[in-house]
Amino acid sequence: MNELFNHKFLLMKKMLSLVLLAITGVVSAQATQTNLIQALNFKFTAWSQGTTVTNGNIVSVKANAQSIVTKDVIGWLGTATANSFTNSQLLVVNQLNTPISNNHIIVRTTTKVSRTQSVTNDVDVSGFFGSYTFAATVDNYSYNNSNNVVNPGAYYGYWDFYLSSATNYPPLPVTFNVTGLGVDGVYNVTGAKKAVLGAADVFSITNAAGIGLVNSNTFILAGSIIISGKTLEVDPGP
C-alpha cells in the first residue's frame, strides 16, 4: 500500500484524530478541481564506512560523509522511471474540495518552448514514498462544542518516513528509512471570498535519523524532511 500524508478529521464528541494521508493511484483531474501545491524537501548528511589504511603501526579507519538533498532523490526517481528530471521539482499535490482528499507526490518538469509558453510534465511518484506514526499524536487544536466545527492546529508525533523501490519499476539505486519527532501544522486553505476549500499540512521532521542502502551497502543518515508552500492551482479537468 502506497501511503503518505492523508489526514482525516474524525470528530466524535470531543475527539479529533489526525492520520497521515493515503496516496492512491495517479493524479485524477476533475472539473474545476482546486489543488494545493507544496514542495517536498530533503536535507540529510549520510555517513558510510570508508577505507582502512595501514601505515606502519598506525591503522586508520575512515568514515565517508556526503549530503543527500532533494535533487539527489529526484535523480534516483528519474533513473527508476526512465525520465530526465533535470531542473525538476518534487511536489505534493493536495486535491481540495473532493469528497475524500487524495494527495500525491509528483516530479514536475517545466520546459519553456517560447518566450510566453511553457510545457509542464508531471510524473506521479507516490508509490516510492511512505510514512506512518509509531504512536498517537499529541494534539493542539480547538473546536466548537455547539456545532462540532474543528479548528486546524498542530499535531506532534513520532513519525517514520521512507523512500523505497516501487512495484513495476526497476529498483532505486538508493533507499532510506528515517524516524523522528515531527510537527504537522494543519491549516484551512481559503480561496476566493475567503471560502474554505479544504485543510492542508505544513509538515516537518527536523531531527530525522535512520539508515539507507546504496549498492547493498548500508549508510546512516540524519537531517530534515519538510513539506511547505501554499500555491493554489485550478485543474480544469479533461
C-alpha cell at 155: 499535531
Return the higher-pLDDT residue of 4 and 58. Answer: 58
What is the percent of the chain where pLDDT is above 70?
Answer: 83
pLDDT at 24: 33
pLDDT at 112: 84
pLDDT tens string 92-101: 998 876 655 5
pLDDT at 73: 97
Ordered by start, the domain boundaries in the chain are 10-50+59-233
Structural contact between residues 224 and 43, judged by C-beta atoms closer than 8 angstroms:
yes
pLDDT at 32: 65
- Give Cα separations from 108 to 52, 92, 93, 206 (angstroms): 42, 10, 11, 25
pTM for the model:
0.80
pLDDT tens string 192-226: 777 777 778 889 999 999 999 998 889 999 999 99
| Model confidence at 74: pLDDT above 70 | yes
pLDDT at 191: 77
| Model confidence at 43: pLDDT above 60 | yes
| H/E run at residue 101 | none
The C-alpha atoms of residue 143 and residue 153 are separated, in whole angstroms, by 10
- Give Cα separations from 94 to 12, 59, 77 (angstroms): 25, 54, 20
- Ranking 82-86, 133-137, 165-169 by mean pLDDT, the lowest is 133-137
pLDDT at 125: 96
Q: Which of 2, 3, 1, 5 lies closest to 182, judged by CA? A: 5
